[in-house]
Copies of this chain bind each other. A is one copy, B any other.
Amino acid sequence: PDNFFLIAGPCVIESEELLDEVAGKVSAICKRLEIPYVFKSSYRKANRTSAGSFTGIGDDKALHLLRKTGDKYHLPVTSDIHAHDEAAPAAAFADILQIPAFLCRQTDLLVAAAETGKIVNVKKGQFLNGPSMQFAVDKIKKAGNDKIILTERGTTFGYQDLVVDYRNIPWMQAHGVPVVMDCTHSLQQPNQTSGVTGGNPQLIGTIAKAAIAAGADGLFIETHPNPAVAKSDGANMLRLDLLEGLLEQLVKLRKAVI
């Protein structure tokens, strides 16, 4: 394809206003830059570090808002699911089901997602290499679904840091599926004593540019008008007003790569 695609939105569905603002602005930018755009926001956060963290506004309400936002701006939408029994309900609203990295080995979850017939986007576990994602691809295909995306989101590198290994882009493309770079979670600094995962958002551009150069098919970027007040992943989301400039650079880079 001529351009990379973008999966972007606020980490978690906080309110209708937030979804509307982000989807409206990002879809306008992507239309202008001819970037296929998938709106992303999680309807529930099931694996927060700490029990006290925000987990959502209610599944049903959140999923309806997600779909409404997609319909308004004519966008496919995606959210992550965390257990096999979430696959069918989420598939009633979302076009792409995302499997969290920690869960990429859970056969029941992969099969349930596959059986919805929706596109399944599996994040590579922080403990796996790209070649091993073949087994996730195989589990989904065996369940009758070959609409698969794989996403790189960094690898465990000591306890309090992740490193992005760009070899995983060609290694995962060798499985015959599009590969996305998650520029947000790759910059996490886990295992902080506060129980709140840290980050390095000033490096989002470096991560994204290297990914496009290495041949990534898509990018995943969480964005929020004001990350400092976001209810999840505030440490790593890109400020919404910085997104356009970054995407312009990336489109230019993409043209030099293909």
Contacts and interface: CB of A to CB of B under 8 A. Distances in A.
A164 interface: yes
Count class of interface residues, chain A = 35 or more
A126 interface: yes
Interface string A112-131: 00000000000001111101
Q: How many copies does the complex hold?
A: 4
Nearest to A111: B51
A49 B127 contact: no
Contact of A210 (B50, B210, B256): B210
11 contacts: A49-B132, A103-B103, A103-B106, A126-B127, A132-B195, A160-B161, A166-B206, A209-B213, A210-B213, A212-B213, A253-B256
Contact of A107 (B55, B108, B214): B55
Contacts of A161: 158-160
Contact of A127 (B138, B156, B166): B156
A83 interface: yes
B195 A135 contact: yes
